[in-house]
């Protein structure tokens, strides 16, 4: 019976139900018997237009008259037999739901409340419980659900999986596991879930100074070992890596080594023979950079907790070394440096990130964005890197590190 309705007829019933469910009549709080009605333009936007397609107007009116003849609606007309209002018949609400195959608002709320109560009863995770409790309170206050029941169940299951994840997992693998579709998570749920995790989780230290939505989502998911692509830590220098199973690898300055996120958990220790250790922000600069007596580590911008723990592991056996960070000379570069220092407790010093490099490579600098300026002022207010940041603001400039690493490579030590 549902398939016999035209598109316009379905729209009429859906819009009448929408108005009904939003009204006080639906909850029984209306003391006056009011009529639920639509204007024809609520269904057919161009109905009153002088430029409307006459055939479409006639078809629309025929479809309305068909519903009226079946005693499903009533219609009022003006003197020219033009449709004025489309009224619902109060005794036909159940029929409207049946014709559309639509579930009532009351049933939807009851189903969601029952589901949320079950989740709260069976889970102790703080993030999930806070999310479900807020959704339940919303429903108890008579507010419209933020999600359909299917969306809600998928979101809850995704949060359960993400916060409980203990092994490296790629986003597309997560999507396949949950939906049988490698793109469904990114397309329909990634932003929703990351927003919920950020709201109820403890990511403030990791996200300080980060305002690019995609970067925020990557960091949140990586905190739970879920990556967009396989994650590696690259390093080169003189030393030895010892693994938990007893085997070891000798390192030297001429060969770069990469470990996956899973592999770094199997590292027992790293003994470094070089006197200096430098973390490098960008891969191009890591590949170019070569200095004697220096052990280099590529972090790929903002780091996650796995990389933080790896740096702490290195520091445990090499606390006597001099630790540096080489990044872009821009506010984000200094935020990354602050993240490193705060998260690891290691007193990194900036390398090639002083004012002299902005002056030396002036022709390669770029202008600051408004967001750059805002971040610079925030760091200055915290008394961080005041000299260089004030210079950047005064001369409206910033510099990517690649030009510096290129020159260092061209004139590298031998």
Read out DSSP for 275-325?
SEEEEESSHHHHHH---TTEEEEE--SS--HHHHHHHHHHHHH-TTSEEEE
Residue 196 has pLDDT above 60, yes or no: yes
Which residues, including other chains, have CB under 8 Å from residue 197's CB and lie 6 or more apart?
127, 159, 162, 163, 203, 220
**Within 13 A of 329's CA, how many CA atoms are on the CB side?**
33
Contact (CB, 8 A) for 330 and 399: yes
Handedness of CA 150, 154, 160, 163 (dihedral sign): negative
Residue 412 has pLDDT above 60, yes or no: no
- Identify the pLDDT of residue 221: 95
Q: What is the pLDDT of residues 323-341, one digit of tens each?
A: 999 999 999 999 999 999 9
Contact (CB, 8 A) for 286 and 334: no
Residue 89 has pLDDT above 60, yes or no: yes
Secondary-structure percent of the chain, ordered helix, strand, coil, rounded to 5: 55, 15, 30
Q: How far apart are CA 380 and CA 387, in angstroms?
A: 9
Domains of the chain in start order, with CATH, are 2-100 (1.10.10), 105-226 (no CATH), 231-410 (3.40.1360.10)
Residue 1 has pLDDT above 50, yes or no: no
Task: State the average pLDDT for the chain.
Answer: 91
Q: How far apart are CA 88 and CA 94, in angstroms?
A: 12
Residue 413 has pLDDT above 50, yes or no: no
Q: How far apart are CA 124 and CA 146, in angstroms?
A: 23
Residue 410 has pLDDT above 90, yes or no: no
Which residues, including other chains, have CB under 8 Å from residue 234's CB and lie 6 or more apart?
256, 257, 258, 283, 286, 297, 298
**Within 13 A of 79's CA, how many CA atoms are on the CB side?**
0
- Strand 226-227 to strand 169-170: parallel, antiparallel, or no bridges (unpaired)? parallel
If DSSP codes are grouped into helix, strand and coil, which group holds residue 134? helix
Q: What is the pLDDT of residues 269-288, one digit of tens each?
A: 999 999 999 999 999 999 99
- Identify the pLDDT of residue 318: 95
Label residue 397 by pLDDT band (50, 70, 90).
very high
Q: What is the pLDDT of residues 135-174, one digit of tens each?
A: 999 999 878 889 999 999 999 999 999 999 988 899 999 9
């Amino acid at each position: 019976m549902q398939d016999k309705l035209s598109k316009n007829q379905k729209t009429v019933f859906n819009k009448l139900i929408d108005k009904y469910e939003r009204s006080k009549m639906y909850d029984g709080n209306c003391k006056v018997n009011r009529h639920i009605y639509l204007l024809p333009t609520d269904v057919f936007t161009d109905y009153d237009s002088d430029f409307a397609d006459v055939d479409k107007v006639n078809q629309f009116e025929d479809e309305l008259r068909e519903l009226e003849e079946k005693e499903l609606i009533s219609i009022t007309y003006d003197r020219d037999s033009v449709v004025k209002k489309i009224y619902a018949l109060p005794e036909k609400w159940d029929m409207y739901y049946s014709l559309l195959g639509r579930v009532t608002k009351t049933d939807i709320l009851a189903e969601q409340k029952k589901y949320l109560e079950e989740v709260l009863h069976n889970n102790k995770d703080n993030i999930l419980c806070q999310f479900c409790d807020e959704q339940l309170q919303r429903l108890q206050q008579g507010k419209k659900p933020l999600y359909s029941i299917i969306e809600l169940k998928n979101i809850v299951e995704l949060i359960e999986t993400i916060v409980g994840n203990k092994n490296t997992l790629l986003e597309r693998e997560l999507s396949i596991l949950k939906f049988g579709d490698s793109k469904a998570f990114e397309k329909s749920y990634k932003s929703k879930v990351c927003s919920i995790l950020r709201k109820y989780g403890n990511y403030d230290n990791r996200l300080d100074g980060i305002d690019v939505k995609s970067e925020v989502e990557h960091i949140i998911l990586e905190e739970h070992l879920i990556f967009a692509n396989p994650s590696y830590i690259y390093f080169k220098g003189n030393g030895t890596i010892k693994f938990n199973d007893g085997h070891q690898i000798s390192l030297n300055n001429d060969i770069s080594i990469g470990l996956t996120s899973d592999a770094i958990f199997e590292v027992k220790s790293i003994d470094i023979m070089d006197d200096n250790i430098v973390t490098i922000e960008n891969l191009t600069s890591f590949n170019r950079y070569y200095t004697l007596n220096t052990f280099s580590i590529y972090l790929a911008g903002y780091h996650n907790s796995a990389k933080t723990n790896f740096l702490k592991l290195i520091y445990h056996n090499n606390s006597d070394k001099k630790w540096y960070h080489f990044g872009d000379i821009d506010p984000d570069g200094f935020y990354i440096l602050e993240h490193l220092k705060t998260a690891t407790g290691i007193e990194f010093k900036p390398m090639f990130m002083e004012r002299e490099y902005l002056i030396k490579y002036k022709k390669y600098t770029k202008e600051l964005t408004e967001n750059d300026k805002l971040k610079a002022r925030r760091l200055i207010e915290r008394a961080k890197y005041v000299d260089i940041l004030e210079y950047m603001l005064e001369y409206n400039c910033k510099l990517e590190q690649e030009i510096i690493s290129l020159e260092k490579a061209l004139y590298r030590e031998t």
